[in-house]
Amino acid sequence: MIWLLTTLQQWILFSATMLLTGCVAWRTLIAPAASATVEDCASVFAAGDSLTVRWARISSWALMAAWLMRMSLQIIAFRDPFVPLGDDISLLLFQTAWGTTWMIQGRVVIGIAGVLRWGVPRESGDGLSRPMKITPAISTLPVLVISLILTLSMSGHAMGAGSWRWAAVMADAIHTLSAGVWIGSLVVILGVSREGLNGSARATSAFLAQIQIFSPIALVSGGAVVSMGIALSWTHLTMISDLWTTRYGLILSAKVIFVILILGLGFLNWRTGTAGSGPKAVMRTIRQRGSWEVSLAAGVILLTAILVHSTKP
């Protein structure tokens, strides 16, 4: 039961982090650039802006739940029945690096939720131009997201990398951030594009503009995911045969296969670009492949949730 709850907690944590990262990347990188390249699509981007804020808020609530679950599960795992519960909690919070990181993570999550609740209104009178504006409140979100991801790396397997500990922590943070920018942004773009399937030419134009901005970002992010993933694998494995002779290695191998499939679909979308029989046909094709990418990414997140609390070789 504890194993199942821990996996669920990690899955919620990683899924919410990925979606939140994608929302922030869309709001600060993709939407402003894409909206500047197309005309008469302000309403589409305004609707996407509202959707993104809503999803980001849901992600922050999920992060809060996962954060609280993590402490509860940690207490259950390390509970000493011969000492008062308060002593166990005090020991975890104030006498371990894990507790310090957990408390910092909580402050970051609360900060994210606060900015999204009071600093980023869902609707506004000038909503049509909102995607092109980076307000002071919105500009704090990338910093908070990076801080959140650093706390995840500082409480994971990367901290057990010995003399390479901090290099592993940075590699893990880049790995997670890049995955969020890549897959999280794709989720948002697919969500924003729903209106285009109902025959809206403006939504189709907005979608293709977003894909053009997203493609180079996805290429860089995908490259970072792969390169950092390879580097991290060497810190977690003792030899290459661990990939097929240990439980940890088998889970990691399955994750690698899923990532390769995602990269293949992404490469196919990049190679075909926006060429096709018509904008709407291209949009349907990219959406279909993008949906497959997201589905495979959900599998990667689940495998990662299992992997992070598995024993390394």
Cβ 63 vs Cβ 112: under 8 Å = yes
**DSSP per position, 239-273:** STTHHHHSHHHHHHHHHHHHHHHHHHHHHHHHHHT
Count Cβ atoms within 10 A of the Cβ of residue 7 and give its class: 0-12 exposed, 13-18 middle, 19 or more buried: middle
What secondary structure letter does DSSP report for 157? G
Q: CA–CA separation, 244 vs 130, rounded Å?
A: 50
pLDDT (average), residues 282-311: 86
Counted domains in the chain: 1
Residue pLDDT, tens place only, 223-272 = 999 999 888 887 777 778 888 888 888 888 899 899 999 888 887 777 66
pLDDT score, position 220: 93
**Residue 313 resides in a domain:** no
User: Does residue 235 fall inside a structural domain?
Assistant: yes
Per the structure, the complete domain to which residue 175 belongs is given by 2-307
Question: How many other β-carbons are positioned within 10 Å of the β-carbon of residue 96?
Answer: 13
